Amino acid sequence: MPELLTSSTVTDEQRRRNDRHNHLVVIAVLAVLCVYMYLFTSAATLTGLPQPQEVAGFLHVDTPYIFDRNQHVETELSVHDGKRFEQPDDNLLVLFVVVAVAFLCAYYLPLRYKQGALALCSLTGIAILYGSDVAAAVLGAHLLVYLVFHPDRRRGFWIGLVTGFAGYLAFIPGSSPGAIHALFALALPLLVAAFYRYSLLPMLQVERLAAILRTVVVHAAVVVICLNLVIDAAGGGGFLVPLGLLLFFFQWARLVMYHIDYQDGLVPDNISLDRYLAVFLNPGVLPTWFWAVTVPQGYAYINNRFLNADKNRIVLAGLKLLGIALFYLVFWYWIMQHLEALFSRLGVEVYQSSIRVMVHDYTRGGEVNTVSVLLTSFMDLVRTLLTFAGVVHFKVAVWRICGYNIAPYINKPWLATNLMAFWTRYAYYYREFLVRAFYYPVFFRLSAVHPGLRILIGSLAAAGLGNLIAHMMKQNLQHGMHLQSTGYVLETWAYFVLLGTGIAVSMMFMRRRRRMRKAWTLDRWFAVDLLAAYITIQYFALIHVFARPTEASSFTDLFVLFMLGIGIDLQ
């Protein structure tokens, strides 16, 4: 596992030494990306090659559950809300091409241009997939954050001009009359630059005011959501947020981490714009961007992992992850269908591996038993894990082939023998974000409190409250900023409490137990490891009963199902 807190930075000289070319590695990466294009997009049609399903049929491979109606492989990897192309597969084709171009830039360009090129490739990808207005909004928002965090009189004026022009591109409708366009194209950059020079810059020189402004820009998403909720509560229905800003808001966790790094003195004052943008704009951010922010780390981690080892070794590690991702992306549904068929033959109802379907059935008077609750929740987790693993492995792989030596997001969670370890293995970066943003601030303020209580409060703050807030953000950003979205997440409070409590208990248990033995050692305790792993996974799966309410279900229904899962029948 990599260092997350170390202040040791990689020098550019070290990076140059690590930046040696190997054309075979490049060919291998491009070949794997071509496989992705062939399997998931209309590349076969465009090139006149036989469709993936035809090839699978020719090879007598069992094909059900893998292909879509276009005879391509059905995938969870997607370009969410990409509206420029009619077919979702075409969006993916653009994405893979952007990844390939970004990879070549990061591989062959001189060191000083690499990170800037990655940001530029990402922005170009956003512009092609969503439109130039969306790319301009993302860029403008980030430029504003950069100006607030790294004020500079001379450079700031020019960046202010670009910010204003990005604002013009983002928010002035294309249908406006030409004169309006010309006016805004000239006036907005000047206004923003002047506002920065004569208003914002003096404010940023007052430390307390600067701290408030930094907090506001980092938490702009929270501010907008709260504003929308207030308007919704007052009967106004809220307002629509442009897609470009939504994309920016979805980077809230990463902005928070950047802010923490900044407060910890880990971000240099004179950080260049391209290095700032490279933290947030990487092609790995684009696919399925609403599924958690992959690698929600700030400057220190991202920058310290860039070319910190031999470039080809990092790229090959990315290639390996691309291969693993491919397996999950292609076979997840096939695996699920075969498992469900197996349980069906055994006479166990698993409700399409969906807790929500089980809850729905129960609220309509269906009979549910303990085995069904346990297996359905287990299968629900397996489904989530298989689909999640494919997408996040792909995203992390893209970071890696672009030169970032970063850890996988998900790392064999089935090997965890306690909940704390499971959480780490299941959602490593998300957990790191919650620990640094919620656990640490609480934990270090309670130095006079008993360690056990400190751990409990810290765990509840991170896995409970922090997790709840992060879910609420995601729900509001993804499904609309209104009370219904917030209410839905609040309804699932028991899941967060049980997760936080479970993690605290597992931490306290691990502290009491001397860890002289490594889990999964082939000795007489191996069976205990096996049992501990099952209990851990089953507990995590079962508490999701509280996280999957339906419109018709009440808390009592979920509670009854949960209790049924632990063997107590309250029906």
Partner 1 sequence: MNRSDIVESLQTFLLTEFPNQGVELTEATNLLGEWFVDSLGIIETVLFLEKNFGIDIKRADINGDNFLNLATLSEFVARRLDSTTG
Question: What are residue 67's DSSP bridge partners?
Answer: 73
Q: How far is the CB of 513 from partner 1 (least distance, A)?
A: 10
249 or 306, CB closer to partner 1? 306
Nearer to partner 1, 434 or 533 (CB): 434
What minimum distance in Å lies between the beta carbon of 407 and partner 1? Answer: 9
Q: Which is nearer to partner 1, 218 or 434 (CB)?
A: 434
Question: Residue holding tokens 């090139």?
Answer: 47
Residue 175 CB partners (closer than 8 Å, separation 6+): none
CA distance 194 to 186: 13
Q: How far is the CB of 519 from partner 1 (least distance, A)?
A: 10
Residue 512 CB, shortest distance to partner 1, in Å, is 12
CB 434 within 8 A of CB 463: yes
Name the residue nearer to partner 1 (CB basis): 383 or 454.
454
d(CA 163, CA 169): 10
Residue labelled with tokens 């490593």? 428
Minimum distance of partner 1 from residue 429's CB (angstroms): 10
Q: Using the minimum distance from each CB to partner 1, give the nearer residue, 23 or 515.
A: 515
Calpha distance 278→402 (Å, rounded) = 11
The nearest distance, CB 417 to partner 1, in angstroms, is 14
Separation between Cα atoms, residue 233 and residue 292, nearest integer Å:
27
Q: How far is the CB of 413 from partner 1 (least distance, A)?
A: 15
Q: Are 407 and 305 in contact (CB under 8 A)?
A: no
Cβ atoms of 497 and 464 closer than 8 Å? yes
What DSSP designation does 544 have? Answer: G
Instruction: For partner 1, give the closer residue by CB, 179 or 516.
Output: 516
Residues contributing to the site for partner 1 (CB under 8 A) = 1-8, 264-265, 420, 424, 428, 432, 435-436, 439-441, 443-444, 447, 451, 454-455, 458, 507, 511, 514-518
User: What's the Cα-to-Cα distance from 399 to each of 284, 389, 402, 506, rounded to whole Å?
Assistant: 6, 15, 5, 32
Least distance (Å) from partner 1 to the CB of residue 366? 41
Q: Report the DSSP beta bridge partners of residue 73.
A: 67
Helix/strand/coil for 404: strand
Helix 370-401 and helix 88-108, axial crossing angle in degrees, nearest 10: 40
For partner 1, which is the closer residue by CB, 7 or 344? Answer: 7
494 neighbors 546 (Cβ within 8 angstroms): yes
The token pair that represents 520 in the structure block: 């999964």
CB 527 within 8 A of CB 333: no
Minimum CB separation of residue 445 from partner 1 in Å reads: 8
- What's the rounded Cα separation, in Å, for the pair 125 and 131? 9
Which residue, 145 or 455, has its beta carbon nearer to partner 1?
455
Identity of the residue, 228 or 418, whose beta carbon is nearer to partner 1 in the bound complex: 418
Name the token pair of 419: 């909940």
First to last CA, the chain: 46
Judged by beta carbon, residue 142 or residue 454, the one nearer partner 1 is 454
By C-alpha distance, which of 459, 457, 451, 461 is closest to 512? Answer: 451
Report the nearest approach of partner 1 to the CB of residue 515 (Å).
Answer: 6
Nearer to partner 1, 304 or 486 (CB): 304
We find the least distance from the C-beta atom of residue 44 to partner 1, in angstroms, to be: 43
- Least Å distance, CB 423 to partner 1, is 9
Alpha carbon distance 21, 301 (integer Å):
24
* 306 phi, psi to nearest 5 deg: -80, 115
Measured from the CB atom, the residue of 521 and 571 that comes closer to partner 1 is 521
Amino acid 320 reads K
Question: What's the CA gap between 397 and 406, in Å, rounded?
Answer: 9
If you ran DSSP here, which 8-state letter would residue 197 be given?
Answer: I
